[in-house]
Every structure is written in structure tokens, then in C-alpha cells.
Amino acid sequence: MSAADGREMRGASGALRDAATGELRQETMIINMGPQHPSTHGVLRLLLELDGETVVSCEPIIGYLHTGIEKNTEYRTWQQGVTFVTRADYLSPFFNELGYCLGVERLLGIEAPERAQIIRVLVCELNRIASHLVWLATGGLELGAVSVMLYAFREREIILDVFEAITGLRMNHAYIRIGGVVMDMPQEGPGKIRNLLRVLPGRFDEYETLLDDNPIWRERNEGVGVLGAEQALALGVTGPCLRAAGVPADLRKDIPYGGYETYDFDVPVQTAGDAYARYRVRMAEMRESLKIVRQALERLEHTPGPVMVQDPKVGWPSRLSVGPDGIGNDPDYLRHIMEESMEALIHHFKMVTQGVAVPAGEVYSAVESPRGELGFHIVSDGGHRPYRVKIRDPSFVNLQALPLMAEGYLVADLIASNASLDPVMGGVDR
């Protein structure tokens, strides 16, 4: 349609009428939403066909953030792969690292030491909360709940501070490595996490007081973007969106990895399958994550030991420490390899430049990310570099459900549906 062809005039009611016949115009309008739009969660373009305010059809067009992460991993060492995959879904970097490392470890036939496994669970669950907080913040903002945005980002910031204390970086940490984690929890780590455990429950209460029975919030979310269990499964939708449709599927319980079977937590489920149910599921999940963090912290206290496998042919050789500009080689370790031991230097050089050789074979390693099943299909030809790393990102697969959730609803509901789906374009496009 075109407003400039001079054939239409605006009637008294404000509707568009055909100038020749005086009849209401019936054709639909095609508009582009995005690729740069504040409520598309990144560079997502939606090709919408609208009949007035109603969405007739919706086609997501993706790829604007494609960075070739999978191809890149094929030309780096196995250890370097961690630094690439962590950047896929940038809101859940620890999960990317964990899924990749668990896969490579399965190929190598090794398991990370217990202390490393506990630290992995701990940072992943904190990451789940941080990711859900971004969902709450952006989703709230899109529906006009600006104060929720400010609150949720405030709390996310204190979690990112903890990440910075542990890994040296706020995002894209490359902290979980093949065979363990790159360095032990710093002295001040547990104290900072305990502070989180003290602060966060009250803050979650605040969000719920604000939103749970807020008439506008309910109006905008209830009955919007409904996705039933069968539809969700057929479309491959996993994570909170599937659990909000009544399917208690959670990889941490169903096919446990990384020691999750030893933690006590519940899998929150709702049955309505709408945006409000997804909100309730994610809020409950944040509390469950806190429960796991509390248990992990307790175990950490009486689980000493290394955080990296002791096999020198696999483990990362250097000792690291957090400096003013992030994580780096520990000064003592540098002195050791540069001044004291030629063998240590040779070993370090070999491991860092050439890396580990991984036995030939293929694995599929899946973890429960904040958005659902995050899978890594990893193929090795026995060499020092991955032959293939395929990332099954939940955002990519879940986004396929958006047309079904949006068509027939209002444009405003499309915003709520997309927000409740919580896609991260870095993961979608990889």
C-alpha cells in the first residue's frame, strides 16, 4: 500500500477510504519491524503483515549478528574454542562454556575435579539469575514497566560484580575450561556471594509485589502468546517456555550433568502456556537457583582440591590470577617458567600453542541454559583442533514459535510474546 498515491482520503471516522468508491480499504499492510528496534531483543527483523492492529503474518528474518563462531572454532585449538562459544549467547556465557567443555571432556574421557564441578554449578546458577533479570528488565521496559527495568538491571549489576571478582570479566569469561575451571574462587568470592544470597530474595519479593497482581501487567501478559505443550514440543521449544506449558522438562533433572543430581531443587511448572505463565516460571526459577547456589557454597567450604585435572597432557598449564585489567598469568607462575624451569616453559609453550589432541569421535552434550536446551554437537578427527562444533542454541529454535504466538493477536501482544520468549540474538545468529 502507499499513502502517497493520492487515491485515498481520510473519512470522518479517521479510516482510510478509497477515493473512487468511497469504500473502506481492505488491503493489509506490510511493515518491517527492525532490524534495529528497541523491543526486538537485538538485531531481529520481523516482516509483519498487518490488518489494522492485528498481525496477519509474521516472518522473523535473522542473521544480522552472524559471526561465524562455529567456523572459527575449526581453526583454533580445543582450548581456544571456549573463548568463541562463550560469545554466542552473550547473556549466558557460562552455559556456553559448560556445554562445550562437557562435550570435549566426554570425548577425552575425563571429568573435572569435584571442586571445579561445584564452582561450575555455582557460576551457572548465578548466571541463570542474571540472564532472567535481563529478561525481566527488557520485558518490563517493553510493556512500559520502566521501574522494573531499573530494579532488575541494578540487581544484575551486583551479580556481574561477583563474576568480575571470580573471573576478572563481567561477560564472556572463558572461565570454564576443558578439565575444570581456569582458576580457583578468590578469597573474597564466597563473601560476595553470601551478600547476594542475603539481598536477592527480598528484591525478588519486590518485583513480585510490583507485578504479580498488577492489573496492567496481567492484562498485557495473560492469554497472550499462548503456546500449548504439543505445539511447543513440535516446534522444539524448550526451557521456561515449555515448562510454562505444563511439561516439567529440565535437563538438570532429566539427564543430569555436572553433579546436578546431588542438589536439592524444584522445577517450577505452570500450565497456562501464556506470557504470564512464563513470567511466573522464570521468577520461581530464580529462587530455585538461589537454593542451588546456597548448597554449592556450603559444599565449596569443605571441598578442597584442585580445580583443573591434574593430567599435564590435558590440563591448562598456567596459573592465573585476577589483575587490574582482568585475568592474567600469575606473576609467580611467570617467574617459574621464565626464570626457573626450562621444562615448564616448553610444556607451557606446547600446551598453549598446540593444545590437546582429542580422540576421534562425536558427542552431543546438552545443558539446561536459561532459555532451554543448549546443545553442542562436537566432532573430532583426533587432531588438535575441533573438526566441527555445532551449537544448538535454544534462542534459535525457540524463535520459530514466534509466528504462531503472534498471528491473530495485536501488534502490542507481539511485543509481549517476543519478550516472554526471551530470544538472545547472539545465540540465534552465532
Partner 1 sequence: MSPEDLAEALQGRFADVGLARGEVTVLVEAGAVPETLLWLRQHPDLAFDLLACVSATDGPGADPRFWLTYEMRSMQHHHRVRVKTGASGTDPRLPSVAPVFPTADWQEREIYDLYGVVFEGHPNLHRILLPEDWEGHPLRKDEELGGVPTWYVGARVPPVDQRGMA
Residue span 97-136 as binding mask against partner 1, x where in contact by CB under 8 A, dash where not:
---------xx-x---------------------------
| Grid coordinates belonging to 122 | 555455582
Nearest to 76 by CA among 426, 387, 391, 430: 387
Which residue, 76 or 291, has its beta carbon nearer to partner 1? 76
43 binds partner 1 (CB under 8 A): no
Residue with cell 583454533: 76
76 binds partner 1 (CB under 8 A): yes
**Binding piece for partner 1, criterion CB under 8 A, among 23-31, 165-173, 297-305, 361-369:** 361-369
384 binds partner 1 (CB under 8 A): yes
75 binds partner 1 (CB under 8 A): yes
Nearest to 326 by CA among 121, 147, 163: 163
Which residue, 140 or 423, has its beta carbon nearer to partner 1? 423
Minimum CB separation from partner 1 for residue 389, in Å?
A: 10
310 binds partner 1 (CB under 8 A): no
Minimum CB separation from partner 1 for residue 92, in Å?
A: 17
**Binding piece for partner 1, criterion CB under 8 A, among 17-25, 45-53, 151-159, 376-384:** 376-384
- Angle CA(368)–CA(372)–CA(377) in degrees, nearest 5? 70
Distance CA 171, CA 404 (A): 33
Torsion over CA of 126, 277, 140 and 33, rounded to 10 degrees?
Answer: 110
70 binds partner 1 (CB under 8 A): yes
Residues 6 or more apart whose CB falls under 8 angstroms from that of 202 comprise: none
Residues 6 or more apart whose CB falls under 8 angstroms from that of 311 comprise: 110, 179
Nearest to 59 by CA among 426, 394, 407, 392: 407
Kindly tell me the number of DSSP H helices and DSSP E strands found in the chain. Answer: 17, 12
Residues 6 or more apart whose CB falls under 8 angstroms from that of 241 comprise: 227, 232, 278, 372, 398, 401, 420, 421
The answer to whether residues 147 and 199 touch, using CB atoms and an 8 Å cutoff, is no
Of 255, 272, 344, 357, which one interacts with partner 1 (CB under 8 A)?
Answer: 255
Which residue, 82 or 130, has its beta carbon nearer to partner 1? 82
**Binding piece for partner 1, criterion CB under 8 A, among 174-182, 265-273, 315-323, 362-370:** 362-370
| Grid coordinates belonging to 427 | 545465540
**Binding piece for partner 1, criterion CB under 8 A, among 14-22, 136-144, 246-254, 299-307:** 246-254
362 binds partner 1 (CB under 8 A): yes
Of 55, 244, 249, 277, which one interacts with partner 1 (CB under 8 A)?
Answer: 249
347 binds partner 1 (CB under 8 A): no
Strand partners, 380: 361
297 binds partner 1 (CB under 8 A): no
Amino acid present at 70 = E
Of 355, 423, 426, 427, which one interacts with partner 1 (CB under 8 A)?
Answer: 355
The answer to whether residues 79 and 69 touch, using CB atoms and an 8 Å cutoff, is no
Minimum CB separation from partner 1 for residue 101, in Å?
A: 15
Nearest to 270 by CA among 282, 260, 253: 282
Torsion over CA of 246, 249, 254 and 256, rounded to 10 degrees?
Answer: -140
Minimum CB separation from partner 1 for residue 311, in Å?
A: 18
382 binds partner 1 (CB under 8 A): no
Minimum CB separation from partner 1 for residue 172, in Å?
A: 20
Minimum CB separation from partner 1 for residue 388, in Å?
A: 5
List, as own/partner pairs, every contact residues 6-15 make where C-beta atoms lie below 8 angstroms and the sequence separation is at least 24, other chains included: none
Minimum CB separation from partner 1 for residue 75, in Å?
A: 4
Residues that bind partner 1 (CB under 8 A): 62-63, 66, 68, 70-72, 75-77, 106-107, 109, 233-238, 247, 249, 254-255, 353-355, 361-364, 366, 373, 375, 377, 379, 384-385, 387-388, 390, 392, 396-397, 399-400, 429-430
